[in-house]
Chain A
């Protein structure tokens, strides 16, 4: 029913799609698999009219079509559920859907939509209150709104971009149920992912992209995770990192009954207690929004605790500001690296001393010694293999992986006692991810205590010595990594206590 033939698209300096040919039948769930930068999103953006291909054609129902904008795509029955929702947070569900529907009346635009949402929702398993405001909904419910938006606009082909990145394992299963329902109703579903488990779980066929080219298109029955991984990356991937057992004992970080509020004054941490030993990686799993951000902020001094205590190597560090915690040896690898971890317009060198600029040798009194800064920068660029033409280049010219290397260089070179790593490999390709993991493991060997907060269960399972699950501001389960399975963790992430 849908065919893309010979699609080629280049941007200056890089070929994103190189002669890609894909076919999707009606009533099929088709997975588009590849790592970051493989060209999956570009391809779907072409299908959705955001980009124009340099070469190639698109056929829908046997007829060639030209898709010049998302409006064209929608008119042709192609809908997209983006990874970052295009929903106006302050508006209601109905208002958001009405915004996109072509037959919205001029007066009282939302009345009709409210009725249609209430009808259509249950049919696909997408129940949601049309009067609710988006900011009140969970990510899973917001995703339902996006899907409903596409369906109400008449989508026959639905594209989903990394749909499970914001869902718990159970919510992901619910989503797959929805997708199967859609398949039954005759829709075609294309979903972009880099998660092999999902592909094996729900897809009928899978296309693997690598460096802008199709590696293979296969029915699910004819392949397995190992082969897919090899096709995705071009070499064999280690799924399990052999890990030495912990050598030292003794707690580095002790957290007792920690409470904290979120930005709106509502309690986000409700009495968290745990400890992290020297040379231990303590994984914190959970779906975003359950207090992880607040926990990271309290541990790094960006948010005051309302109650409870924290001790680092027997020194009370509760509610110290970020600067003091940095001086006490707390390193922070932030979640949002370009927004928080670096100043994109400033140079690599300046970013490398973003926290240390105020101490000697970089500062003598009030004046900054630029020579010392540059020297340090060159050393870091070398040691951490940061690809940049030089230390004076603005950071925003660096790729995501190199920005992360910069951040790692800055945070880890100072011999920290505690590393708080928040989603450290989000958005990175496989080699940058492996390098990051290797660095964390090296510091683990050097008796640094590490708190790893991540939504990526694979990463948590791969690296942690012990795993805690955060739900609604509380630790609902704490277990050694050896006892943890995806199912167990998934249940805890939904609130079931261990």
Chain B
């Protein structure tokens, strides 16, 4: 228990949602302040920089860009939440996205299907390709205990070079300006955009529906229950008769499939062809980790965090044009935000209260070695800063 002016900071194992929000926002703000240091080191006044970013991204013409970026981020992020809840560290969303794009491209360019069937088939193919790309690391981890962080990451690089091979080799289309890409998709395979913007509404709708659907899955279904138990305590999951292989594999395939959908959204919605991997994905698979982490495990919250990350990506363009800094600056933002988020976790299990109160029989921060008397109920956290409460 520590005193901070008129406030008291106490341990609380069950923090309230508002405290979690406060800490998360605080971490992001701290990261942005740290990023200001980078601007300053470049000789740019950070305040000018942030002002330029805000005006550049939030005006009516540019605002849709935020949502254009948010779509793949949401699709990746929401899937990653499911994987992370199962304690499966899927760092391979980037590669799964690319493979989803490959699947969609294959359907668009080579499948002899009638026009109305193209888009649904592309989506299905993209989901499937993404999901399958996640199977190998999942099986290796579940059967041989091989660290999935490394294997999913390796799969990213393999997917990267695979796409490179395709666009330079068997799927090579026209080549212009030194870039390589496939032929353009037939019109029927173009995802429709919201007028005047680069936001494809199918991707957006899918993202939001997936967020809702996965939120329901986790909270209210048997599979969601199994994923949560597995993620919190693998030993107890086995004890409860939950099959870790089936459950984790299921979670992983959902996650990888969602990333695959992001890939479809990109190639069918924005580019209408398969391009160099670093143009298909601007690191959405990695940024999706931040979307998931910032959402603190809630798929619905991911909608908001995806929009926030979309803002950051959108600012990358502004930074490039107005401030003459490379787009890479977004990686610095992302890296700092993630760092600060991880660092701020230590602050989560606490709560604030006014020092004037004297809680009676409080169990906060009790010594785990000494069991509390059975007749004293453990008190819960009821929220952060409160007004004058009458005792507790």
Q: Hey, what's the 0/1 contact readout for B363-392 against A, CB within 8 Å counting as 1?
A: 111110111111111111000000000000
* Complex: A396 Cα to B236 Cα, angstroms: 14
A376 within 8 A of B: no
Q: What residues of A have a CB within 8 angstroms of the CB of B361 in the complex? A: 13
A397 within 8 A of B: yes
Q: What residues of A have a CB within 8 angstroms of the CB of B229 in the complex? A: 343, 346, 354
Q: Which one of B53-61, B91-99, B126-134, B219-227 is at the A interface?
A: B219-227
Q: Which one of B67-75, B110-118, B194-202, B237-245 is at the A interface?
A: B237-245
* Complex: A367 Cα to B372 Cα, angstroms: 36
Q: What residues of B have a CB within 8 angstroms of the CB of A86 in the complex? A: none
B220 near A399 (CB under 8 angstroms)?
no
* Complex: A241 Cα to B42 Cα, angstroms: 81
* Complex: A498 Cα to B376 Cα, angstroms: 49
A413 within 8 A of B: no
| Cross-chain contact of A42 among B1, B221, B370 (Cβ < 8 A) | B370
* Complex: A426 Cα to B119 Cα, angstroms: 61
A326-B241, A370-B220 known; A342+B236 contact, CB < 8 A: yes
Q: What residues of A have a CB within 8 angstroms of the CB of B238 in the complex? A: 302, 322
B14 within 8 A of A: yes
Q: Hey, what's the 0/1 contact readout for A1-45 against B, CB within 8 Å counting as 1?
A: 000000000011110100000000000000000001101011000
* Complex: A341 Cα to B236 Cα, angstroms: 6
Give the A-B pair count, Cβ closer than 8 A.
Answer: 118
* Complex: A302 Cα to B241 Cα, angstroms: 8
| Cross-chain contact of A341 among B239, B364, B366, B370 (Cβ < 8 A) | B239
Q: Hey, what's the 0/1 contact readout for B46-86 against A, CB within 8 Å counting as 1?
A: 00000000000000000000000000000000000000000
A12 near B371 (CB under 8 angstroms)?
no
A265 to chain B: closest CB distance in Å? Answer: 15
Q: What residues of B have a CB within 8 angstroms of the CB of A485 in the complex? A: none
CB nearest to A15 among chain B residues:
B370
B228 within 8 A of A: yes
B14 near A394 (CB under 8 angstroms)?
yes
B216 to chain A: closest CB distance in Å? Answer: 8
Q: What residues of B have a CB within 8 angstroms of the CB of A332 in the complex? A: 239
A389 near B371 (CB under 8 angstroms)?
no
A321 near B372 (CB under 8 angstroms)?
no
B353 to chain A: closest CB distance in Å? Answer: 14
A63 within 8 A of B: no
A12-B362, A16-B370, A399-B374 known; A346+B232 contact, CB < 8 A: yes
Q: What residues of A have a CB within 8 angstroms of the CB of B233 in the complex? A: 339, 342-345
Q: What residues of B have a CB within 8 angstroms of the CB of A131 in the complex? A: none
A397 near B14 (CB under 8 angstroms)?
yes
* Complex: A163 Cα to B313 Cα, angstroms: 61
* Complex: A302 Cα to B235 Cα, angstroms: 10
B37 within 8 A of A: no
Q: Hey, what's the 0/1 contact readout for A331-360 against B, CB within 8 Å counting as 1?
A: 010100001111111100010001101100
A127 within 8 A of B: no
Q: What residues of B have a CB within 8 angstroms of the CB of A240 in the complex? A: none
CB nearest to B238 among chain A residues:
A302
B326 within 8 A of A: no
CB nearest to A358 among chain B residues:
B222
A273 within 8 A of B: no
A174 within 8 A of B: no
A257 within 8 A of B: no
B232 near A345 (CB under 8 angstroms)?
yes
B13 within 8 A of A: yes
Q: What residues of B have a CB within 8 angstroms of the CB of A389 in the complex? A: 377-380
A14 near B241 (CB under 8 angstroms)?
no
| Cross-chain contact of B372 among A14, A36, A358 (Cβ < 8 A) | A14
* Complex: A41 Cα to B238 Cα, angstroms: 33
B221 near A367 (CB under 8 angstroms)?
yes
Q: What residues of B have a CB within 8 angstroms of the CB of A400 in the complex? A: 371
Q: What residues of B have a CB within 8 angstroms of the CB of A79 in the complex? A: none
| Cross-chain contact of B378 among A36, A39, A355, A397 (Cβ < 8 A) | A397
A215 within 8 A of B: no
* Complex: A358 Cα to B221 Cα, angstroms: 9
Q: What residues of B have a CB within 8 angstroms of the CB of A334 in the complex? A: 239
From B229, B235, B374, name the one whose CB has the most chain A CB atoms within 10 angstroms.
Answer: B374
Q: Which of A368-393 contact B (CB under 8 A)?
A: 368, 370, 387-389, 393
A183 to chain B: closest CB distance in Å? Answer: 29
B225 near A367 (CB under 8 angstroms)?
no
| Cross-chain contact of B371 among A37, A343, A354 (Cβ < 8 A) | A37
From B232, B236, B379, name the one whose CB has the most chain A CB atoms within 10 angstroms.
Answer: B236
Task: Write 13 A-B pairs (CB below 8 A) sorted by A numbering.
Answer: A12-B365, A13-B361, A322-B239, A339-B236, A345-B232, A355-B241, A357-B225, A366-B222, A366-B223, A389-B380, A397-B380, A399-B374, A401-B371
Q: Nearest 3 CB-CB pairs, A to B?
A: A323-B241, A11-B367, A399-B371
